[in-house]
């Protein structure tokens, strides 16, 4: 029930979220590029069974880089998909990996967008770097029997209190 309420509220705020994205694009045009990806429409479709790594921005991409490089050495035939939410994260992925990985923006946390994304890339597993714990993302992964690993997670006391305020949403 809590996730459905979250989804409703998120849906209602989506026009504001999009307007904010457009506004941020004034200072950084990267926010206005590849907008379709944020709705789950993807420019490329890697082979199924790849490793999906979500690294929200620059810091998370740097934190995941060595792991991804090692994974690619040990699994050269497995595609790697890295998602982020910021243009600077995207630039960092391209700088570190070039064309050796697929980079896409993580869709907004609404089931239709996330499901479209998962059905398009058909990953074998998702590794979330840090604590990017989006309720619909995790629920959709569960629905698709997609294993999820939380890597390098740490949470401040303040964040823990915030998550604790909505246990019906965060506990699952």
Residue 60 known to be catalytic: yes
Contacts of 121 (CB under 8 A, 6+ apart): 42, 45, 46, 48, 50, 52, 81, 102, 104
Per residue in 90-107, is it b (16+ CB within 10 Å) or e — as a string?
bebbeebbeeebbbbbbb
Contacts of 167 (CB under 8 A, 6+ apart): none
What's the rounded Cα separation, in Å, for the pair 36 and 80?
20
Residue from 60, 91, 130, 132 carrying the catalytic annotation: 60
Which is it for the CA torsion 166, 168, 169, 172, positive or negative? positive
In this structure, are residues 58 and 87 in contact, taking their beta carbons and an 8 Å threshold?
A: no
Residues identified as active-site: 60
């Amino acid at each position: 029930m809590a996730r459905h309420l979250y989804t409703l509220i998120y849906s209602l705020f989506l026009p504001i979220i999009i307007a904010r994205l457009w506004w941020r694009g004034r200072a950084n045009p990267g926010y206005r590029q590849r907008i379709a990806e944020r709705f789950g429409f993807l420019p490329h479709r890697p082979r199924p069974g790849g490793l999906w790594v979500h690294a929200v921005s620059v810091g998370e991409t740097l934190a995941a880089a060595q792991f991804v490089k090692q994974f690619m050495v040990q699994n050269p035939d497995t595609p790697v998909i890295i998602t982020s939410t910021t243009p600077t994260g995207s630039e960092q992925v391209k700088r570190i990996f070039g064309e050796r990985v697929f980079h896409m923006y993580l869709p907004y946390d609404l089931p239709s967008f996330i499901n479209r994304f998962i059905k398009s890339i058909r990953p074998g597993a998702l590794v979330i770097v840090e604590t990017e714990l989006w309720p619909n993302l995790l629920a959709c992964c569960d629905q698709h029997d997609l294993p999820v690993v939380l890597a390098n997670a740490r949470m401040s006391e303040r964040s823990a209190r915030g998550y604790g305020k909505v246990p019906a949403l965060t506990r699952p």
